Amino acid sequence: MNPRSGFCKSNSTFYSKRKPISLPPYHSLDVTTFISSHHHHNNDKIAFIDASTGRRLSFGDFWRAVESVSICLSDMGIRKGHVVFLLSPNSIFFPIVCLSVMSLGAIITTANPLNTSQEISKQIFDSKTALIFTIPQLLPKLPSPESINNVPIVLMTTDHSSSDHQTLEDMMKKEPNDQTIIVKNRVTQNDAATLLFSSGTTGVSKGVISTHGNLIALVMGMTGRFRTHEKDQIYIATVPMFHTYGLAAFAISLVAKGCTVVVLPKFDLDEMLSAIHNFKVTYLPLVPPILVGLANNADLIRKKYDLRSLRYVLCGGAPLSVGVMEEFKKKFSEVTILQGYALTESNGAGASTETLEESRRHGTAGLITPSTEAKIVDTETGEALSENKTGELWLRGPSIMKGYFENGEATARTLTSDGWLKTGDLCYIDDDGFLFVVDRLKELIKYKAYQVPPAELESLLLTHPEIIDAAVIPFPDDKVGQYPMAYLVRRSGSSLSDFAVIEFVAKQVAPYKRIRRVAFVTSIPKNPSGKILRKDLIKRATSSL
Ligand SMILES: CC(C)(COP(=O)(O)OP(=O)(O)OC[C@H]1O[C@@H](n2cnc3c(N)ncnc32)[C@H](O)[C@@H]1OP(=O)(O)O)[C@@H](O)C(=O)NCCC(=O)NCCSC(=O)/C=C/c1ccc(O)cc1
């Protein structure tokens, strides 16, 4: 093996240069037990602060709440393998629900509260949800109780008068006593723990099954990325916990490391900056659009807020342009930008920069994460390539998902029989082992770092009586990254307008999935087997920019 790049010639594999993690050897172990025993927590230390109300939960409060909620869930009949749906914006209660559910071997599934009723109902049906946690404001988005077999609903609210549903606050008050029995089936590291949705490399959104073992590996691999070894670090949760990035960071890893997290219910630039100022936040995980917002308004921000506490921002979720990074560095020279690259399917595995020195390497996503192997595979020949050559990135390691939920075909397309995850990203690894993401092979649009699968919008467009063919592509934009653009073939004689198309889609999808640009064409370019030639359309759309 070449110690400089990590590349091993004999099997064409890149090995991580980071210190390997040592995983717990016990087969019977759930992630909640692992996290609760991972550190000798100081019970009085603050685990979570609600930035809007100032409410604080100490680690003692937190673990008592997890135990109480687990008892209540067990009393309600929740068992290993049941799916529990959590539909909520960020809150200090989000991690409590996740860890309680997983402690029983039940599986947590999440969704973006911006999703439409239709999208939410589909997830509830597809995942065979056994129980729902949500907030009162989102109740109208749920399907009627009869249509979902009266699945029990628990409200995450302090207001008891709002309805006749049970509340999380009541569950959190449950005191264990001599008669308390938690029915807990044996949970192994190989059992499913989370079911998060991702578009994968192609097609519509799919449920990603991650195991307890995957999440345990995730916790072990996160130390360097979050610099949890540095004393008195205070983190702020503004990226959503319903996606892998926020969930892995705030509901799992940082709890395990005994760190303090300030939680914002929703992203708002001013509220985020006030919270950084008020709570002396040191570490801000974010996505590129937030970095753009900070860089563009730096002078105003500096006048209004004291951000001297802030030492690190971690940028992940979507590609960060070198230009934006430079602009940010100029304006906030005392803040170190760290980069993180990972997928829902990889549970934190991918690459990261962990120091200022590493971040100085222009455009890199960082070194391969600990105990993870990488291959760069030529997309034409299937040959595994060496340093500085571009191909599809494949990853293998203890945090790679088990597969897609009830979708053997997509699983077989994405995971090889010997455990490699095909990421759908075109990358190269340089002489020093740094990963560079060059382009995306997978059919995916990233709007504000939210995934939008083109196939989902294409099939929706084809339900319009005046549209006979459709292709959806990413259109580049400085502020949001990319937005969905549609190329459409109209039925002959139709005078359907772009505005009407935009409205038609907007009514049926979450705001981040909206079509924001339309072009009419006489035919959609396809290869002989009928696959849309997206690259041609992207070239065409961007040629006039
Ligand atoms: C903070 C963002 C960037 C911006 O927020 P925003 O500007 O308030 O926009 P929203 O996204 O909340 O709202 C979207 C739209 O919905 C609208 N909206 C708002 N609330 C409403 C309403 N109640 N009704 C109806 N319309 C509404 C809102 O106006 C807006 O419309 P538009 O202006 O047309 O875009 C937000 O989009 C955001 O959090 N994005 C992050 C997504 C994210 O977490 N992605 C990560 C995926 S996972 C991944 O890639 C893994 C990476 C990873 C990396 C490193 C690691 O170590 C590990 C993992």
Segment 13-23 shows an average pLDDT of 96
Where do the H-state alpha helices sit in 449-493?
454-461
- According to DSSP, the residues that pair with 404 across neighbouring strands are 208
Residue 21: how many other CB atoms lie within 10 Å: 21
The pLDDT assigned to 484 comes to: 98
Q: For tokens 């050897």, what's the residue? A: 25
Query: Nearest CA to 50 among 64, 41, 61?
Result: 61
**Cα-Cα-Cα-Cα dihedral sign, residues 99, 102, 104, 108:** positive
Predicted ipTM of the assembly: 0.94
Confidence band for 505, pLDDT divided at 50, 70 and 90: very high
Residue 161: is its pLDDT beyond 70?
no
Query: Nearest CA to 448 among 486, 485, 407, 483?
Result: 483
Nearest atom (ligand 1) to Cα of 516:
34
Residue 128: how many other CB atoms lie within 10 Å: 15
**Segment among 98-107, 152-161, 288-297, 432-441 with least mean pLDDT:** 152-161
φ/ψ of residue 518, rounded to 5: -135, 140
Read off the DSSP letter of residue 526: B
What's the mean per-residue pLDDT of the chain?
95
Distance 264 CA to ligand 1 centre (A): 13
Q: For tokens 């040592």, what's the residue? A: 22
Distance 483 CA to ligand 1 centre (A): 13
CA distance 224 to 246: 17
Strand 434-440 vs strand 445-447: parallel, antiparallel, or unpaired? unpaired
- Domain range annotation of the chain: 445-542
Percent of the chain with pLDDT over 90: 91
Percent of the chain with pLDDT over 70: 98
Tokens matching residue 325: 């990074």
Distance 115 CA to ligand 1 centre (A): 11
Nearest atom (ligand 1) to Cα of 225:
57
Confidence band for 204, pLDDT divided at 50, 70 and 90: very high
Residues with CB under 6 A from ligand 1: 114, 225, 239-240, 243-246, 248, 267, 287, 289-290, 316-317, 340, 342, 344, 348, 448-450, 511-512
The pLDDT assigned to 180 comes to: 67
Q: pLDDT tens digit string along 332-367? A: 999 999 999 999 999 999 999 999 999 999 899 999
The pLDDT assigned to 545 comes to: 73
φ/ψ of residue 87, rounded to 5: -120, 95
Residues in the chain: 545
Query: Nearest CA to 110 among 85, 90, 133?
Result: 85
The pLDDT assigned to 176 comes to: 77
- Residue identifier of the C-alpha nearest atom 23 of ligand 1: 114
Confidence band for 308, pLDDT divided at 50, 70 and 90: very high
Tokens matching residue 192: 């499913």
Q: Which amino acid is at 457?
A: L
Helices (H) and strands (E) in the chain, counts: 17, 29
Nearest atom (ligand 1) to Cα of 245:
59
Q: For tokens 């409205």, what's the residue? A: 503
Does domain 445-542 bear CATH number 3.30.300.30? yes
Query: Angle, to 10 degrees, between the axis of helix 31-38 and the axis of helix 94-103?
Result: 120
Nearest atom (ligand 1) to Cα of 244:
48
**Cα-Cα-Cα-Cα dihedral sign, residues 139, 143, 145, 149:** negative
Query: Nearest CA to 196 among 265, 112, 119, 116?
Result: 112
Q: pLDDT tens digit string along 446-485? A: 999 999 999 999 999 999 999 999 999 999 999 999 999 9
